[in-house]
Amino acid sequence: MDFALTEEQEMIRDAAREFAQKEIAPVAAHHDETGEFPSETIAMAGQLGFMGIEVPEEYGGAGLDAVGYALVMEEISAADAAHSTIVSVNNSLYSSGILDNGSEEQKHKYVTPVATGEVVGAYALTEPQSGSDAGNIRTRAVLAADGSHYVINGKKSWITSGSVARFIVVFAKTDPEQESRGVSAFIIDTERDGFACGKTEPKLGIRASATCEIELDGYRCPVEDRLGPEGAGFKIAMGVLDAGRIGIAAQAVGIARAAYEASLDYARERKAFGEPIGSFQMIQAKIADMKTRLEAARLLTLRAAWNKNRAKAAGLRNTTEACCAKLFASEAAMFITHQAVQIHGGMGYSRELPLERYFRDAKITEIYEGTSEIQRMVIARQETGLR
């Protein structure tokens, strides 16, 4: 067993840290305040290979593994979680599903421009009536009589990058009589007729991630843009979430680290009753609990990332590892950012410091890509074999 990063992994982490601290951290508050999509910094991330981290070089990506992905996600998240949300959806929810299930033509046509950062990708599973119960989607895809295309109708909600994405992997029912086995996946081009964006969600945190509703109204999807076989969509969606949840765990670690490091500095500098507040036992207890949860969250996240390709090669799922990492890291991020605001007192509550933003941003990691309740349900089902 070796807990050390390789030299290459350290280089990736350092490059991501330098980019995130130099380019993203200074604009994070502006994008949080305005909700404006960070097109400029996302384009820079594309040039550095961060929009297609695990995408093989032949499809325009950086050709790294899931550990590299987790390291980059932690660094970008420590600077700004809205940026890392866009990065994570592009990498795992969008690209990994096409890489694992797409044809050669689909990989070249739909992954390459997204991995290079030329355009943005998104993933549309959730609907107004179906969030956790993902098999209950109502969006319908009907195959035309001549078999050349599907006509898709329906509404999707909470779509990260929905208003800026060029391509979106959309899940729709091709056989409504079946539950999850009647779901198929499609790659849609938002420049075609029949696609429209609905309202943008006014959110508590990650405010610049362009989360919106999308509507498909008679959208004609060529049959060659179906992803995988008919009826395989639900398993594609779940497999993608196994990859995505590692990214969200790493995002939680990054947000938590930023809050922890700020708290450590403040505990050393801020004086009360003639002493640095870090010399008081009540602050020391907070620091120790924050540090322990941060380290444990990072270990679970890197382990889930390390196991991803190993599991795949053995024909196994990485579901439990990904869910454990996301569950623990997201709850650790909530705990750590909460303590960080408390350590900073009034300054933690003020918008002059990023602490209150970390606290707001951390909350989403317990909700998207499966709530903590869903992670617990999946872990328990996997462990017991019961439903």
| Amino acid at the residue 208 | A
- Number of C-beta neighbours around residue 275 at 10 A: 10
List the interface residues with ligand CAA, window 66-105 (CB under 6 A): 89
Shortest Å, Cβ 188 to ligand CAA = 15
Catalytically active residues, by annotation: 369
- Number of C-beta neighbours around residue 23 at 10 A: 17
Q: Is 370 a binder of ligand CAA (CB under 6 A)?
A: yes
By beta-carbon proximity to ligand CAA, the closer residue of 67 and 134 is 134
Q: Is 129 a binder of ligand CAA (CB under 6 A)?
A: no
Residues 6+ apart with CB under 8 A from 104: none
Among the residue ranges 15-23, 55-63, 119-127, 218-226, the one whose residues contact ligand CAA (CB under 6 A): 119-127
By beta-carbon proximity to ligand CAA, the closer residue of 278 and 370 is 370
Q: Is 372 a binder of ligand CAA (CB under 6 A)?
A: no
Contacting residue, 270, 303, 312, 317, with ligand CAA by CB under 6 A: 317
Residue 159-198 contact track with ligand CAA, rule CB under 6 A, x = bound: xx-------------------xx-----------------
Q: Is 5 a binder of ligand CAA (CB under 6 A)?
A: no
Backbone angles phi, psi at 143, to 5 degrees: -75, 130
Q: Is 376 a binder of ligand CAA (CB under 6 A)?
A: no
Taken in order 38, 41, 44, 49, is the CA torsion positive or negative?
negative
Structure tokens at 267: 């505990």
Cα separation values, 331 from 244, 290, 372, Å: 17, 11, 8
Cα separation values, 357 from 196, 259, 277, 288, 332, Å: 31, 10, 23, 22, 16
Shortest Å, Cβ 245 to ligand CAA = 8
Contacting residue, 35, 56, 63, 135, with ligand CAA by CB under 6 A: 135
Among the residue ranges 22-30, 157-165, 193-201, 302-310, the one whose residues contact ligand CAA (CB under 6 A): 157-165
Among the residue ranges 121-129, 257-265, 282-290, 294-302, the one whose residues contact ligand CAA (CB under 6 A): 121-129
By beta-carbon proximity to ligand CAA, the closer residue of 15 and 377 is 377
> Taking a C-beta distance cutoff of 8 angstroms, is the pair 53, 75 a contact?
no
List the interface residues with ligand CAA, window 223-252 (CB under 6 A): 234-235, 238-239, 241-242
Q: How far apart are CA 271 and CA 340, in angstroms?
A: 16
> Taking a C-beta distance cutoff of 8 angstroms, is the pair 238, 62 a contact?
no
Number of residues this chain uses to bind ligand CAA (CB under 6 A): 25
Q: Which positions touch ligand CAA (CB under 6 A)?
A: 89, 123, 125-126, 132, 134-135, 158-160, 180-181, 234-235, 238-239, 241-242, 317, 319, 368-370, 374, 378
